Structures are given as structure tokens and as C-alpha cells.
Amino acid sequence: MKKVLLGMSGGVDSSVSAIVLKEMGYEVIGATMKLWEDKCNPEIEGGCCSFSATYDAKRVCDKLGIPHYTLNCEEDFTHYVIDDFIHCYENCKTPNPCIECNRYLKFGAFYQKALELGCDYVATGHYAKIEYSSKYHQYVMKKSEAKQKDQTYFLYCIPKEVLPHILYPLESFQDKEEVRKLAERYELKVAHKKDSQEVCFIPDNNYVGFIKKNSPQSFQKGNIVLKDGTILGTHEGLIHYTIGQRKGLGIGYKAPLYVIDLNKEKNEVVVGEEKDLYQKELQATDCNFLLDIDLSKPQEVMAKVRYRAKEAKAILTMEKNIAHVVFEEPQRAITPGQSVVFYMDDVVLGGGKIVSFR
């Protein structure tokens, strides 16, 4: 019997994943990663890092008759996720901590723990699919059957060599309602538990307050300007702004204004009209690719510049580990710090961190 280490967050997705794996005949071990604790509010509720999440995961494992462990990963999480989150905002970038967590924790440290326990696979409740491709002659990651829930955008950074050892038990589910119905059938108390929406280590969603409390850097007032340098007002610190933002600017103009750039050197928030948000090219670094294809040649891909963005046709060219992407149509609010992810049909090619646009 093959053994699998399943990451359990206490939510319905990972709980149903345990059910599916058992039904498939695997020996399942459930594990919850202790990633972060609010030292001022250690009993705080909500999120995948809370005491209640660990309790819910253990209760599900007890009901299903599988072992459950809690893994202390706080040190790695602080280094790879929280410190990176703060550093990005200090440098006018908008980070995506879930991507870093998947890269270094869920498919990094967690995978290593699976090997230590003699497991053949790791599994999570993500909506994605792993299969062997006869076209590419390798294991590939594909989009989930549940198109509205597909999470491959957050998973492009997984090490390619780990792909054959990953299971996504929810890969064939069509939607979240189908998942909840299976949880109901097994009488799991988490069947209708709400999805966590906030960043797990900022449960009150006040990321500005979190960064100010944890960053030695001061965020000083500066000017809000148009592209030509015309001063329209003042801002309370660059940390309060991200590209595409419209609300909270506190200035009047003849047309609605949006943040179109952040200039750290001049401590300026650059604003413009909505048409100024659209850009056709970007550059990305820190790239990770899951397909063995010839990247020395330009590749036609579908690319998305944020999780909720639609995929768009583009040409990808790699030069000295820098991805140069030219879109067929301009894209809205390309944001440094976010990731651009590339697809070939429904297969994930890879992705990288956006560093600039034009």
C-alpha cells in the first residue's frame, strides 16, 4: 500500500482530500504545519495557522481513523514568507505570500518530511492536476476540472522533480459544492466551513499595520503626481498603495485616477487615467519552469499576470534567466511583485516574479 503525507489546514478541501485518498486505497497520514503564531493573540481564530484550524484537522483525522501530526515550521515560514512579504512592500512591490509558502513550505519542507516518514507522495487540497504526459514525455501539472477554483497560478513554483510525487485528490471535482457534499456524506463538521480569504498571518487584513509594526523602515509622506510630474496632492507613505488602486487617493481631478506606478527613489505615487494602466510588455525574474522545452527560442504562450486575471496570448523570450513577455493585447495593472504564469493549452509551463513593465 502506497503511503501519502497529506497537508491538512482544517478546511473542507484538505479534509475531503483525506476521504478521497482513503477511498483510493492509500495509507494516509495527516499533518498540519504550524507556520505562525500571533504572540500577542496566540488563541486568535481564523486562517490556516490558528489553533482552531489544527483542532479541526485533528478532529477530521480522528473521525476517518488516520494519524495526525503537527509540524513546527515557524522558522522557515518567517524567513521565506513573512520576511519576503515585508521586504517586497518596503521596495514598492506587491507580494503573493501563498506562492512563497507553496515553494518553500508545502512542497519544500513538507515534502522533505514526507521522505523522512517513508511516504511515496505528498498531497494537498489544491485544485490542480498532475499526470504523465505522452506529449511531453514527463509528469506535468494541468489546470483543475473546477475551472473557477483552479489554483495552478499559485503552484507554478513547485520544483519540477517533485511533480511525480504529488497528488491533488480534488483534481476531478467540478466545483466546491461537490466537495462539500462529500464532506456532508461523511458527516464532517467542516463541511460548510468558510474559506479563509485573508493572508493567514494577518487575520485582521490590516497589512499596513502589520508591516509598520514589523519593519524598521519608516514610511514617509510624499507627493502624488501625474506622469509629467504635476503634483496633485500628498500621500501618507508608499506602503498604502498598489498599482491599479483607485480608492483612498484623496485628490480631485477631471477624470477618475488610478495608481499607475510607485517611485521609491522619489517617494512618489504616480497616478493616471484608466487607459494608463494598460501595458503590453513585462520582465520577470526568479523563474521556474515545469516543462522540458527549448526556452532558447521564443515560445507562444497564454499568460496571466495575477490570479484573477484572464489568460492572454503572449510571446515569451528568455534571456539570461530573465523572462521577456510581449502580449498580443495590453494587460491591465501589471504589478511588480506579483507573478506571471505561463500555460500551453491546459498545462503549466512555469512562471516568474514581475520586476518591471512598459
Q: Are residues 15 and 160 in the same domain?
A: yes
Query: Residue 150 domain-assigned?
Result: yes
> The dihedral of CA 278, 284, 287, 293: what is its sign?
positive
Question: What's the structural domain count of the chain?
Answer: 3
- Rounded to whole angstroms, what are the CA distances from 9 to 20, 46, 52, 167, 188? 16, 11, 10, 16, 14
Domain holding 231: CATH number? 2.30.30.280
Domain holding 346: CATH number? 2.40.30.10
* Distant-in-sequence, close-in-space partners of 169: CB < 8 Å, separation ≥ 6: 16, 17, 20, 21, 24, 123, 125
232-242 pLDDT, tens per residue? Answer: 999 989 999 99
Q: Are residues 303 and 265 in the same domain?
A: no
Q: Are residues 132 and 252 in the same domain?
A: no
Ordered alpha helix ranges (H), 120-195: 176-185
* CB neighbour burial string for 211-250, b if at least 16 within 10 angstroms, e if fewer: beeeeeeebeebbbbbeeeeebeebebbbebbbbbeeebe
The one-letter amino acid code at 298 reads P
Helices (H) and strands (E) in the chain, counts: 8, 17
Cell of 90: 518596503
* Distant-in-sequence, close-in-space partners of 13: CB < 8 Å, separation ≥ 6: 125, 126, 127, 170, 179
Q: Which of 61, 73, 92, 101 is catalytic?
A: 101
Q: Are residues 236 and 292 in the same domain?
A: no
Query: Residue 158 domain-assigned?
Result: yes
Query: What is the span of the domain harbouring residue 39?
Result: 3-185
Quick check: is 101 catalytic? yes
pLDDT band for 214, please (50, 70, 90 cuts). Answer: confident
What DSSP element (H or E) covers 132? strand 128-133
216-272 pLDDT, tens per residue? Answer: 776 889 999 999 999 999 998 999 999 999 998 989 899 999 999 999 999 999 999
Looking at 193-202, 247-256, 287-296, which range is the least confident one?
193-202
270 and 262 Cβ atoms separated by less than 8 Å = yes
Q: Are residues 127 and 248 in the same domain?
A: no
Last residue of a domain, one of 129, 160, 185: 185
Q: Average pLDDT of 131-147?
A: 95
CA separation for the pair 242, 5 (Å, rounded): 38
Q: Are residues 29 and 147 in the same domain?
A: yes
User: What is the structure's pLDDT at 46?
Assistant: 45
Residue 77 pLDDT exceeds 80: yes
Domain holding 57: CATH number? 3.40.50.620
Query: Residue 190 domain-assigned?
Result: no
Last residue of a domain, one of 272, 293, 309: 272
Q: Are residues 161 and 233 in the same domain?
A: no
151 and 175 Cβ atoms separated by less than 8 Å = no
Cβ burial of 311 (10 Å; 0-12, 13-18, 19+) is middle
Question: What phi and psi, each to the nearest 5 degrees, are found at residue 220?
Answer: -90, 155
CA separation for the pair 320, 322 (Å, rounded): 5
Q: Are residues 32 and 70 in the same domain?
A: yes
Query: Residue 209 domain-assigned?
Result: no
Taking each helix axis as running N to C, give the angle between helix 51-64 and helix 12-23, from 0 to 180 degrees, rounded to the nearest 10.
20
Query: Residue 255 domain-assigned?
Result: yes
Query: Residue 231 domain-assigned?
Result: yes
Query: Residue 193 domain-assigned?
Result: no
Q: Which of 49, 73, 88, 200 is catalytic?
A: 200
Q: Are residues 148 and 235 in the same domain?
A: no
**pTM exceeds 0.85 for this model:** yes
3-state secondary structure of 190: coil
CA separation for the pair 154, 146 (Å, rounded): 15
Cell of 67: 494519524
Q: Are residues 334 and 242 in the same domain?
A: no
Last residue of a domain, one of 185, 209, 240: 185
Q: Are residues 314 and 253 in the same domain?
A: no
300-354 pLDDT, tens per residue? Answer: 999 999 999 999 999 999 998 999 999 999 999 999 999 999 999 999 999 999 9
* Distant-in-sequence, close-in-space partners of 78: CB < 8 Å, separation ≥ 6: 36
Q: For residue 50, what is the DSSP state? A: S
Q: Are residues 161 and 23 in the same domain?
A: yes
User: What is the structure's pLDDT at 196?
Assistant: 75
Query: Residue 118 domain-assigned?
Result: yes
Residue 39 pLDDT exceeds 80: no
Q: Average pLDDT of 165-191?
A: 95
Q: Average pLDDT of 49-64?
A: 87
